[in-house]
Each structure stands twice: as C-alpha cells, then as structure tokens.
C-alpha cells in the first residue's frame, strides 16, 4: 500500500467516468460493465488524476483520509486505476468515432400487407455498405423463407455482417434447428421469438456466435420499439464514442416500414418515399433525412444529466414532448435527479403523450 500511497495514480484508459446529476458512473468499456460511484469520487478522479494518494490527503488537510482510502480501495478492487511514475506515457483514449459506411444499420419491417421487394432493399443496402440489419416479421415466417433472404446476401457478396431476426414464436420451434441455421449462415447473429408462453435466453454454444431470445412479449407492430431499460445498456467502445457526438439509435440508420416506406425509423410518421419509387441511396442524400443523426444524449433534456447517457440507446420516435425534438425518450422510467426507476407507462405525467402516440390505454 506504501507504493500506492506515494506513486501517482492513473485511470485505465478504457474505464471512463461519466458525471450524472446525483451520482456518477465508471464505464468499463473493456469488460462491458458499469459501476456507480458518488459524485465526490468523480470529482476526486477528475481533479487529482496524476497525483499520489499522499498528496490528495494533504490537499484536504487529512480531514477525509478514511474516505479517500475507501475510494482507492474501490478503484483498485475494480482495476479502474494503476500507479505509475510516468503517467504521461499513458494517454487518454480517443473519443473520435469513425465509420466508413454511409449507413451502419437498418430496420426492415415485414407485415401481412407488405408487397415491396426485400431483395431490392438488400441490394440498396449493399450499395450503402450497410453492416447490420434487424428484420422484424409481424407475420408468420418459416426458416425456409428466411433462408432465401440470407442466401441472397451470400449471392450478392453483401456488406452485411450481422442480421437479427424478430419473428413470431412457432410451436414447432426447436432450439437445435435455429442454432444449426445460425452456424450455417454466419451472418445471422440472433433470433428473437415473440409471443411464446415463456421467457428464455439461449446463449451460443462452444464459443460460437448466435443467440436466441424467447419472450412472452407480443411484438406485432413497430410501436413495441423504443423501450429504455438497464438490461439494454450497451457498454462498449463503439456505443460510448458514437454517443459523444451522434444519436445512439438513429445515427446512420435507415428503415423500411411494413408498407415499403423509407424512414429514419419505422415508428416515425415522416416517409421519404416508397422503396418501389426511390432508392435508399437517394433518400440518404437528402439533408432532411440526417437531421436526427447529430442529436447526441448531451443535447437531450434530462438525459444530459444522466450517468447512463453514453451506454443508453436513445429513442426519437417516442419522446415526452412531441413538439420538442430534444425531449427525453417517453419510454424511459429513469430519473437521474432521484436515481429511481419507475414504470414509464404508469407515470400520470406521460398519459397525454402515450395517448398522442396511441401506444396503450
């Protein structure tokens, strides 16, 4: 402990403190975990990184020695800090986010009424060098039909590297069949079966990729999207750095709704035209289409004071004040000023907006 007391401390570069209104967090972007800390510890780290513990205690006239020791015990236990006589050799991690792809992710919704050409949409996405697709089927779909989609991506040597399928639960569902499918078609990274009688998570086996989620939730239309929950926090370098400047849901996203309308997200009213009449490329070139991309969490009311803002996915389709583009996501029940979670759908202050979006009730 003597060495630690007398050697300058330094934060591990990918363990990053985020200040909130009432408490802060340290996001461990390597381990993918988040620890909550008091704002006093945040302040200590920010003001004294590069100093020794002895120097810090002296600075506070030894009034807080016990608590300073406790704070450092916590930081050392979680491997957030190390001690070095050459802190200048350990620079901060860059917060720049760069992707060469015009579009990084897409949502494609398919319902009973859908009559647009999915293959055309996939070709368009390939031209935009899109990397990830989420397919949401609001109607029954067989693995055979899914196979034609995935095989087509192979045929066109698509830029897509991962696909998530959300599909209705089928009583003939077999875990092994879905897993075999994912192992055969490596682009498929998950299946989410909705409307089951149970909730289950099936992790990939043998260090392979590909997981399965079975849920009793009914996901039969686009309005089921946009829920903010701590289980959905994404603690990694990509989300953390992207969220510094860009919107953590809509940046570089394009969507096609069940009617074939091209949108930022299927839940939004604004359509940029039908995929039957205009290409995705032409839509992306429109300035208006990119208006959500730069709405980072630091610009959003309430979120800008939240200790989770760089790991939390945003939602701009359902917001607390539909007249204010910068208002908090409607489907978030977290209050960073009290550090409490509530059921957002039961909040009496949200009733009017919930009705406005025709969500429930």
Interface with ligand SF4 (CB under 6 A): 225-226, 228, 249-250, 265, 267, 297, 302-303, 306, 308-309, 312, 315-317, 328-329, 332, 334, 336
Nearer to ligand SF4, 146 or 303 (CB): 303
349/156 Cα distance (integer angstroms) = 50
Instruction: Closer to ligand SF4 by CB, 28 or 257: give it.
Output: 257
In angstroms, rounded to a whole number, what is the distance separating the alpha carbons of residues 62 and 46?
19
Residue 99 CB neighbours (<10 A): 14
The total of other beta-carbon atoms located within 10 Å of residue 360's CB is: 9
Shortest approach of ligand SF4 to residue 309 CB, angstroms?
A: 4
Our CB check for ligand SF4 shows the closer of 128 and 250 to be 250
Q: Contact 214/200 with Cβ under 8 angstroms?
A: yes
Taking the complex as a whole, how short is the minimal distance between the CB of residue 173 and ligand SF4, in angstroms? 25
User: Is residue 154 within 8 Å of residue 309, measured between CB atoms?
Assistant: no
- Sheet containing strand 253-256, edge to edge, reads 200-202, 211-214, 188-194, 162-168, 132-137, 105-110, 253-256, 262-263
- Cβ proximity to ligand SF4, 17 vs 329, nearer residue: 329
Report d(CA 249, CA 330) in Å as an integer: 14
> Toward ligand SF4, which CB reaches closer, 261 or 328?
328
Q: How far is the CB of 277 from ligand SF4 (least distance, A)?
A: 23
Runs of H (alpha helix) within 264-339: 280-284
Closest to ligand SF4 by CB, 158 vs 267, is 267
Least separation in angstroms between residue 163's CB and ligand SF4 is 16
Sign of CA dihedral 40, 46, 52, 55: negative
CB of 352 to ligand SF4, least distance (A): 19
- Give the count of beta carbons closer than 10 Å to the beta carbon of residue 215: 17
CB 11 within 8 A of CB 45: yes
Least separation, in Å, of the C-beta of 350 and ligand SF4? 13
CB of 18 to ligand SF4, least distance (A): 10
Among residues 156 and 232, whose Cβ is nearest to ligand SF4?
232
CB atoms within 10 A of CB 288: 9
Mark out the alpha helices in the chain (DSSP H runs): 2-6, 39-48, 53-59, 65-77, 118-127, 143-155, 175-184, 237-245, 280-284, 351-356
State the nearest-atom distance from the C-beta of 100 to ligand SF4, in Å: 23
- Residue 18 vs 143, nearer CB to ligand SF4: 18
């Amino acid at each position: 402990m003597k060495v630690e007391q007398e050697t300058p401390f330094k934060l591990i570069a990918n363990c990053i403190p985020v200040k909130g209104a009432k408490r802060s967090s340290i996001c461990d972007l390597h381990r993918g975990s988040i620890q909550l800390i008091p704002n006093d510890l945040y302040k200590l780290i920010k003001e004294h990184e590069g100093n020794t513990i002895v120097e810090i205690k002296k600075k506070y006239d030894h009034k807080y020695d016990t608590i300073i020791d406790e704070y450092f015990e916590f930081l050392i236990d979680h491997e957030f800090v190390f001690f070095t006589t050459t802190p200048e050799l350990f620079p901060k991690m860059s917060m720049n986010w760069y992707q060469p792809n015009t579009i990084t992710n897409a949502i494609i919704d398919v319902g009973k009424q859908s009559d647009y050409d999915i293959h055309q949409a996939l070709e368009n996405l390939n031209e935009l060098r899109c990397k990830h697709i989420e397919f949401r089927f609001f109607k029954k779909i067989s693995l055979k039909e899914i196979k034609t989609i995935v095989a087509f991506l192979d045929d066109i040597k698509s830029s897509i590297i991962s696909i998530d399928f959300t599909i209705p639960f089928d009583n003939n569902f077999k875990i092994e069949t879905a897993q075999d499918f994912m192992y055969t078609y490596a682009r498929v990274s998950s299946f989410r079966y909705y409307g089951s009688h149970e909730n289950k998570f099936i992790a990939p086996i043998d260090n392979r990729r590909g997981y399965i989620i079975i849920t009793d939730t009914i996901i039969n239309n686009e309005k089921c999207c946009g829920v903010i929950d701590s289980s959905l926090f994404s603690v990694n370098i990509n989300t953390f750095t992207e969220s510094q400047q860009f919107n953590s849901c809509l940046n570089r996203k394009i969507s096609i709704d069940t009617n074939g309308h091209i949108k930022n997200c299927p839940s939004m009213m604004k359509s940029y035209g039908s995929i039957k009449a205009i290409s995705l490329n032409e839509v992306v070139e429109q300035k208006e289409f990119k208006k959500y991309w730069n709405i980072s969490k630091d610009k959003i009311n309430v979120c800008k004071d939240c200790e989770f803002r760089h790991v939390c996915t945003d939602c701009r389709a359902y917001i607390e004040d539909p007249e204010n583009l910068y208002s908090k996501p409607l489907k978030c029940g977290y209050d960073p000023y009290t550090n409490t979670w509530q059921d957002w759908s039961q909040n009496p202050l949200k009733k009017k907006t919930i009705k406005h979006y025709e969500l429930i009730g």
